Structure 1
Amino acid sequence: MGKEYWRGPSVQPALALDASSASAPNVSLRPLGHDDLAEIARWDEDLELVALYGGLPSEFAATGSGVRLAITAGDRLVGVIGLTGETWVMGSAELRILIGPPDQRGRRIGFKAITSLLSFVRAMTDLDFIYLRVLESNQRAVRCYEKCGFRRAGRLRVRSSPRYPRPPLEDDLLLMIWSGADAAADDGPARLPAAP
């Protein structure tokens, strides 16, 4: 059976990327396959990635509940994105993402993957808000998340967490984005863009 790809539409015209640009390659999201897990396990050896993400990429890709998708640039696997900790009663989920190969970081791949996933979430689910946690020192990721519409909502002191096998000696920033109609536009996190 062939691979199924999902190419999310642009979230807003202002967020559209030139897919032919060298800095923003053609990015697709698709279900993770068994072959992907071996490649992702190799990323565990990248100490910079493990430090930036705060854990092992293979553990994120292979364990837990939720939705995990492969991020591809062309035909190359370059990352993993997903929603974990879905709390349908509370209408929330945690977004997690990582870009594996060092030569693919800083090319707006994460931005394009996140905006595509958020567009899908807005169109296809009843989630009210999406949140994420990021190590405070990972400023490249913080800037990306803010460009995607996430807003800082607080700081989490990390002392013990299943996400971190060895908890870092720094805090997580908590960022959120709302989709609910009752969220105030000028206070609190930004809203998810309307479905196209």
Structure 2
Amino acid sequence: MNKAPTISGENILLRQPIESDIEDYLKIEHNEELMRMYSGDPANIKPKTRADAERFIQKIKSNPLEWCIEYQGRCIGQARLTVDKRDNRARYAVGLFDPSTWGQGIGQEVTNLVLDFVFHELSLHRLDLRVLEYNKRAIRYYEKCGFIKEGVEREGALIKGKYETDIMMSILDREYFQA
């Protein structure tokens, strides 16, 4: 598979980047909560530049299984799979950089679309992810999608001068198909 296919949901579209995504990314400034959820230090917030936006979109383009998340005609985030073919598994990451879209079920819709792709199209055995322990909103929707907490990495991320813990979650193919 050369590039991630376009996947349509009820409210969102997972697709390859287009030129206007650079502008969409530039329109939304970083904020403290966003930086914390991306495990960055909010003290390092600085205005985005066109070069930042171009790098962000180019990074999505360069990964064969990464999508821009389109909502209401604009790019609001990205979703990525990193596949390990030998072990028939993938690591999942999703991020919505537009805070005005948080709490609307978009992350859950994206995750359900990716789960369908992972288990029906790629026929993988396992999908896993890491999420910061304080990101309760994401943990709730991952659990609603069928992910199970399976471990922690204690104090593995230094954020704003404090060591934070990651939660490891996964879903297996049989669990997905049973749900």
TM-score by length of 1: 0.70
Counterpart in the other structure of 1:22: none
Distance 1:41 1:132, change over 3 A: farther
Q: Which amino acid aligns with 2:67?
A: L
Higher helix share: 2
Distance change >3 Å, CA 45–CA 5, structure 1 → 2: same
In structure 2, do the counterparts of structure 1 residues 138 and 132 end up closer, same or farther at CA, with 3 Å as the change threshold?
same
Residues 37 and 178 of structure 1: CA distance in aligned 2, closer, same or farther (over 3 Å): farther
- The alignment partner of 1:45 has SS state of coil
Partner of 1:11: none
Quick check: 2:93–2:129 contact (8 Å CA) kept in 1? Answer: yes
User: Is the counterpart of residue 121 in structure 1 residue 102 in structure 2?
Assistant: no
Match of 1:147?
144
Cα shift at 1:6: 2.2
Matches within 5 A, 1:93-108: 93-108=90-105
Q: Distance in 1 between the 2:22 and 2:161 partners?
A: 24
Bigger strand share: 2
How much does 1:156 deviate?
Answer: 1.2
Match of 1:91 in 2: 88
1:34 deviates by 4.4
Higher deviation after alignment, 34-43 or 68-77 = 34-43
Match of 1:54 in 2: 39
Q: Distance in 1 between matches of 2:65 and 2:153?
A: 24
Unmatched segments (≥5 aa) in structure 1: 9-18, 20-25, 182-190
- 41 and 50 in structure 1: CA distance in 2 versus 1, 3 angstrom threshold: farther
Determine the C-alpha separation between the residues in 2 that align with 1:68 and 1:37.
Answer: 16
Provide the residue aligned with 2:109 in structure 1. 112
For 1:48-105, what per-residue CA distance to the aligned partner results, in whole angstroms no more than 9, with x for missing partners?
A: 1111121499777627745111111221212211112x21101111110011211100
Aligned residues: 161
Q: Which residue number in structure 2 is paired with residue 193 of structure 1?
A: 177
Query: Over aligned residue pairs, what C-alpha RMSD do you find?
Result: 3.0
